[in-house]
Chain A
Amino acid sequence: MSEITSSVLIRPAGAGRWFAVLGNLTHRLGLSAVGLILPLAVLGLWQYAVNHEWVAIQLLPPPELVWQSLRELWDAGDLTRNLAVSLTRIGWSVLIGSSIGWLLGFLMGLSRTARDFLYPSFEVFTQFPVVGWIPILIIFLGIDEGLKIAAISIAVVVPVTVATFKGIVNIPSALLEVAKVYRFSHSQVLLRVVLPAALPALFSGFRQGIMQAWLALVFVELLASSEGIGYLMVWGRQLMQLDLVFVGLLVIGLVGVALDVSLRYLESRLQSWRHAAH
């Protein structure tokens, strides 16, 4: 990977400079520059298809138009406003969903009784896709903000609960015996053994939860909304302004990656002791 980036960095001119900047960026994100080849090829193919009018321009807007729309939406504040709406929904849903997920995961992980009571129901619950909940939720919550947050929260609960539960159950009993030998109280076991030992699993569950929330968000906004990134896409489709749909896709992808990368960064900072990979 460094071979490619460095050879590019030597001649920072024209398109090469862009590539170098991108290469440098992906390098910092811990990705390999070769990973850029495919998206760039797709971009090239897209431009080529537009130039040769393979598809009607109304159906496949040229990349410049998408870029232009992106900048216009950004300048007009539409993009930030809709993104803010979507991120607020994500924020609430992740807060509610992961709180419930952690609670359920901890309960089932720590208490045999709770596990016997809850696990069978939970297993059935995980089988329903989020889409399946929406008709029922509409009846009770209407189609306002409550519906969206509830539906996205459900998508978050499942991965968070599963990861938390598994993380706690998989704590080596050898370490719990050590805690017993040194006469740890219940709260000491929880804070000094269970929590740190399950932290990697907690984090990966949280990350999965956010990713699921992001997927559910777009779906919910496509369904019933008057603002948000998903709504922007629906609106674009209805107006046959497919450049808006592409802008939406681009923003969703980029924000998703940004969220994942920043969470992974936070995770590695919090767990400097986990270098056991070698």
Chain B
Amino acid sequence: MAHAATLEIKNLNKQYQVGDKSLPVLEDISLSIKPGEFVSIVGSSGCGKSTLLKLLIGLEDQYQGDILLDGKRIVGTSLERGIVFQEHRLFPWLTVEQNISIGLLNNTELSAEEKTNSIQEHIELVGLKDFANAYPYQLSGGMSQRVAIARALVNRPEVLLLDEPFGALDAFTRAYLQQELQRIWEKEGITMILVTHDVEEAVYLGDRVVVMQPRPGRIKRVIDVNLPRERTRSSAKFTAIKEEVLREFADTPDTVEELTTQTTVNEAPKNSFLTADALCY
């Protein structure tokens, strides 16, 4: 593993069976993702973006078309593809370290020693060295999500899928973790696909932003983000690209409101690291 892979989605179609009716969720999705690329996928609820990730990770396997990783059709889940969900989904009965080690449970490539090293390395990567023995209930939302990222990366997957990973966090923590994720992406050099309904997040992190439209889920447009990193959210170019993405929703009036409110919402920055201080007894 450890190298980034090309991910190719060709004419992908997916339906859900509702009673005896077949409901299309994804229609003719084609997308080619270069090794080491960061692709953001935005769209309103119901555009099938989460279903797309479920297909890519292999939790769903009923579809038509092709999903190819380095030219090979994907079958089921694989340690080559990691995922971070919106909820951290840590096992509450395991410590941070044990939760991360879950990722390596069925890894046959590494020796026991290499596994231990990899776990330590990834605990440090997400900055949780002091919390290795903490239980999930002792962590804040942002810290839990960092553990989930470490768990997904510990296998050194070729592709990391992120399903609205920061959607449930407060604005302050979200901005911080977006920066962290970018740092990790640059360091690991792997392919990342981020599904979000936060347009600003999509533009901040993506090399390209894929805009999807709902019912059935289709790709509406792919917008390149040709801005050097680290990007400044307030710069004119950044805002222009953000506006361009938002304009794509103008045709579908029932979704535009939802998207603008979600991206302009300005929560009072709540310091979620307070819980971390409370732990340092």
Enumerate chain A interface residues (CB-CB to B < 8 A): 174-175, 177-178, 180-185, 188, 192-193, 196-197, 199, 271-276
Interface status of B34 (Cβ within 8 A of chain A):
no
A74 to B15, CA, bound (A): 74
Partner of B59, one of A181, A193, A199: A181
Counted as pairs of residues, one from A and one from B, with CB atoms less than 8 Å apart, the total is 58
Contact B92 A276 (CB under 8 A): yes
Minimum-distance CB pairs A-B, first 7: A196-B93, A273-B93, A273-B135, A183-B106, A276-B137, A178-B89, A174-B89
How many chain B residues touch A (CB < 8 A): the figure is 22
Q: A174-B87, A274-B137 are in contact. List 11 more A-B contacts (CB 8 A).
A: A175-B91, A182-B79, A182-B103, A183-B77, A184-B105, A185-B106, A188-B105, A192-B105, A199-B93, A271-B93, A273-B93
B199 CB → nearest A CB, Å:
26
Chain B positions within 8 Å of A188 at CB level = 105-106
Q: Mark B73-92, 1 if CB is under 8 A from A, else 0.
A: 00001110011010101011
Chain B positions within 8 Å of A184 at CB level = 105-106
Closest residue of chain B to A179 (Cβ to Cβ) is B102
Partner of A183, one of B78, B93, B138: B78
Interface status of B57 (Cβ within 8 A of chain A):
yes
A62 to B34, CA, bound (A): 89
A91 CB → nearest B CB, Å:
29
Among B168-225, those with CB < 8 Å from A are: none
Can you list 10 pairs linking A and B with CB atoms under 8 Å apart? A177-B85, A180-B59, A181-B77, A182-B79, A182-B103, A196-B91, A273-B92, A273-B135, A273-B136, A274-B93
A196 to B89, CA, bound (A): 15
Partner of B91, one of A177, A193, A272: A193
A271 to B92, CA, bound (A): 10
Chain B positions within 8 Å of A276 at CB level = 92, 137
Given the known interface contacts A273-B135, A273-B137, A275-B137, the answer about A181 and B83 at a Cβ–Cβ threshold of 8 Å is yes
Contact B105 A182 (CB under 8 A): yes
Chain A positions within 8 Å of B82 at CB level = 181
Chain B positions within 8 Å of A275 at CB level = 135, 137-138
Chain A positions within 8 Å of B83 at CB level = 181
Given the known interface contacts A181-B57, A182-B106, the answer about A174 and B85 at a Cβ–Cβ threshold of 8 Å is yes
A100 CB → nearest B CB, Å:
26
